[in-house]
Amino acid sequence: MSANSNENATGSTGKRILILNGSPRMNGNTAGLIASFTEGAIQAGHVVDRFDLQKMNIRACLGCYKGGKDPDSPCVQKDDMDKIYPVYERADIVVLASPMYYWSVTGQLKCAFDRLFAVTEKDAEFRSPSKKCIMLMAAEGDTRDNFEPVVHYYHALLKHLGWTNLGEVYAGGVVNVGDIKGHLALKEARDLGVSIL
Ligand SMILES: Cc1cc2nc3c(=O)[nH]c(=O)nc-3n(C[C@H](O)[C@H](O)[C@H](O)COP(=O)(O)O)c2cc1C
């Protein structure tokens, strides 16, 4: 999925946005947030690449610390992460999109994100590539207290990676497929996409 990479309506250059979709439900509530965000981002002239992790063969990190040697395929495990690595390296913005599963992101997203460490291993000093980041999340609970562990995790992650937060959209009170319809968070997600400079 992509739009042009020329100047957008605000005159700035279109950004490359990588969406890592951790939801196993392709038409679920996270998918709704992603669709609204993508619509806004494309309208603003950005290029969006989305990976639906549930459909991909991505194994968990082995913790071998032997990655980074082959620049094009930095992990020792050879699977569908090789489709994500080049897009990740070029991306200006990484979007973490996930339902809340036990006060965290899904295993699908966690596995993929851990495996990005192989790119960090390309750097002798283990410096992470510099990125901007966005969080989109759907959850059953709809209180500040329910989202607090994820908010804490997300901010700790960005602090340690040295990434910049461009925004977070948390859609609470959604359980079944279709619950996101008419949710205020859809507008928030769309506005966030449009707001990217
Ligand atoms: C295994 C599992 C764990 C869940 N854990 C939580 C949770 O910790 N907190 C919460 O508010 N909702 C939790 N939920 C509810 C989902 O976050 C909610 O149904 C969400 O809308 C699903 O998004 P999706 O439609 O993209 O799959 C859980 C659902 C499942 C299946």
Residues at CB less than 6 angstroms from ligand 1: 23, 25, 28-30, 99-103, 138-141, 146, 174-175, 177
Check residue 10 and give its pLDDT.
52
Residue nearest to atom 28 of ligand 1 (CA): 101
Helix axes 184-195, 29-43, angle to 10 degrees: 30
Averaged pLDDT, 13-21:
96
What average pLDDT does the structure give for the chain? 94
Ligand 1 atom closest to Cα of 180? 21
Closest CA to 8 of 42, 54, 32, 31: 42
Ligand 1 center–CA 105 separation, angstroms: 9
pLDDT for res 12:
59
- Mean pLDDT for the stretch of residues 86-111: 98
pLDDT of residue 13: 79
Average pLDDT over residues 2-23: 71
Buried residues in 160-186 as b, exposed as e (16+ CB within 10 A):
ebebeebbbbbbbbbeeeebbeebebb
- Copy the structure tokens of residue 70: 């082959």
Which is the closest atom of ligand 1 to the Cα of 171?
21
Q: What is the mean pLDDT of residues 148-165?
A: 98
pLDDT, tens digit, 9 for 90 and up, residues 108-154: 999 999 999 999 999 999 999 999 999 999 999 999 999 999 999 99
16-195 CATH: 3.40.50.360
Q: What separation in Å is there between the alpha carbon of 100 and the centre of ligand 1?
A: 5
Domains of the chain: which residue ranges? 16-195
**Of the listed ranges 6-10, 55-59, 155-159, 160-164, the one predicted with least confidence:** 6-10
Per-residue pLDDT of 36-69, as tens digits, reads 999 999 999 999 999 999 999 999 999 999 999 9
